[in-house]
Structure 1
Amino acid sequence: MQDLSKVIKAYDVRGVVPDELDDAIVGAVGAAFARLAQNDIVVVRDMRTSSPQFLAAFAEGVTSQGYDVIDAGLGSTDLAYFASGKLDLPGAMITASHNPAKYNGLKLCWPGAKPVGQDTGLGQIRQLIEEGIPVHDGARGSIIARPMADDYAAYLNSLVNLTGIRRLKVVADAGNGMGGHMAPIVFAGLPIDLTPMYFELDGSFPNHEANPLDPKNLIDLQAKVRESGADIGLAFDGDADRCFVVDENGEPVPPSAIVALIATRELAKAPGSTIVYNVITSRAVPEIVAENGGQSARTRVGHVFMKSLMAETDAVFGGEHSGHYYFRDFWRADTGMLAALHVLAALGESDLPMSKLVAQYSRYTASGEINTEVAGVAATLAKVEEHFAGREDVELDRMDGLTVVLATGWFNLRPSNTEPLLRLNVEADNETAMADLRDEVLALVR
């Protein structure tokens, strides 16, 4: 057995295949998870080259412990969450999300799509494997095929009504990931004219990496939207749990604006509800939530923290600036496809072009995330904190890294979970103020 510390991360299992992650580890994770869950497990896989063999290995591990594997088929991560919620079973998704082709991994959840993280199961799974998983002395479990993509699509469409909207021209870039499989099923019969880009499933990602957070991976979509005169462009990551939007001019729409747009729609359905956002989301979000009669709750970056606070506050919706959108109606799990349906409905119900529609949700200028490798993460954070602490009218908090709020803007500087990096996000009233604050912080960091 290889070193598990390299592959069992804070929120998932992930590594380079086969150097770090192989059939033996995946099978052991399956056996340990089944033993811990004491339940059958529903499994979905993506299109990566190693995913079929990892599905077989994981299923071997689960069934060796006497539990069944419900094979929900080829699909997106949010299909796995849907299956876990619908069947009230633990779930597993075989994917490495947006990582390059040489990676693969597993995302796990408890029944009802509740997250499995280091403190909620992954640590115990690792311990079980390292100590040696006991041999089950009863009958083996079985593998039961139960495709659920059609049920998933019907459920999403039951949550957002697109009948009666104006017909839209939509370009969607799946990056050869699972969006190419799921989008045609979800969008079938809707009043949209869909132009598919890179819908062919290919785990080698021959056109570009399936990571729309990186601007270079949006270039093809932006060009196609402009060239075709489309109303909107959608970009999905490799496992299609995140969705990014470009407007009719091919300009990227800030995910925080999408958070505010969807929050407004959800508050119209559930007045006075809570909306959860994280420390790097635009301050426009809590402002717009308050203007629409809602309550805001702020948390750390990451799906475990988002889902936990949503459960605690019974929030109707939560959104992160990374393109993850969480819905109470979807077991508090994140789903890029449901977010896309909300955006299409909002656009189709409006006479405005996308750029004008989202302008009302974009109030400030943001830097985007800037990563810097540093020798001493803690010392650098302390230096930046000391630099700003003495100023008047400054607010500081350490909820997640360091957040500093000034009169004309704010920034968050937080460490990476896996690398000696500091991640900087800056937002201010205008471009000049943002650039000045960004450069001041970077001068300290670098």
Structure 2
Amino acid sequence: MLTLLGPWPDSATGATLRFDTHLDSSLIASPSVPAPRPAPSHETEKILMDSLTSMGKNGAEATLHEIEAFLESHPKFRLAQLIHGDLLLSKGRPITDIGNIEGVSGPEIKEKVQGLREEARRRTGRYLNPPDPDTLPGYLIRPGRERTWFIVVEMGSSRLYLYENKKGRFWLRGDFYASVGKNGFPKQSEGDQKTPIGVYRIVGNIPADDLPDRYGAAAFPVDYPNAWDKRLGRTGHGIWIHGVSSDTYSRPPHSSDGCIAMANEDLLTIKKILAIPGTPVIITEQASWMKPAAINGRRLAFEEQFERWRRDWESRDRTRYARHYSRSFQSRSENRSAWLHQKALVNSGKRYIRIGISDLAILGYPGEPDTVEVVFAQDYRSNNYNSRSKKRQYWRLEKTKPGRERAGRKDENAEGVWRIVYEDAF
């Protein structure tokens, strides 16, 4: 009998759980259809996980037949092939781990088996311990009106989540297994084979006909390095969401050169959404899952500070305006001192300034403590100059120094004060 040890959770035998893993393709064609939980468009992962977790009830022989039937329709699913081999071996002797490689030499084979073991851990972990359906990734603070779809990649669990924004509310529309960089994360430099952590946007769509086979059914580049990466001196390029080669179904969790790789059938399920330019892609190690009410409280607290910044800019009071900018502030070309000096010169010729804000979007920035990315349309009006532009800012919650008097300072609280650490127009 096959004994599931090592990578398998204690509850992996005898468990039967519902697992809606994939996007209902009808929702892509008709996104106005109200459905908080769409049925999966296919159940490849669910079928495999159901077979494994029911082994304690059905026995190894029944599971073997189920895996054989599964491989008839998915012959390139390497993890299923490995499990099938283990089940055959278990007829003659106990197997204590996935991928029995006793007597097998060669580091390459051992490395491949270890990658498949880790894939089994990630898939089973998600199957048995899904996120609370009443929570959201805490990065989804305010979607803005321009964007309908949001992607969150949680590298620690090898999952890609797809959320739909419907009138300011988020609905989970897809949940997929995904692989990332061979050397983990976060990306820092060209060629390090790591996946970046941050907030990115899809900027391209490369069809399969224009790609080498290893990139699969399509590729969707993101804008790494973004403005924040460049501020921190990070280098590299060519971070994509793409498929896998035609000789396999999926890849181990850490197997790309830094890109996010999905099974081709999963990629094709959401291809139309990935093809929308500007779709946000939030890449994190481990998402902070929060109740919507808690996220809303965070949003309101930040928006209050953001509104103060807008009013203080209109006031043309340099001191009031300056207090919103961190000592570590840096634009594309100016530090805090140069930025404030230039603003003072401009404001000296103004009798009034009016700042209009629209299409405000706020996303938490993973990998940076208490940092948010803010994007908005700005309508600038004054007595001698008018303009409209798109603005991007990064704000950080800076801790208040111990003993500092906060009386009368509405922009400060027990947690600290939000200040701008980067700003540009695009």
TM-score clears 0.5: no
Q: Where is the helix percentage greater, Structure 1 or Structure 2?
A: 1
- Structure-1-length-normalised TM-score: 0.26
- Structure-2-length-normalised TM-score: 0.27
| Higher Cα radius of gyration | 2
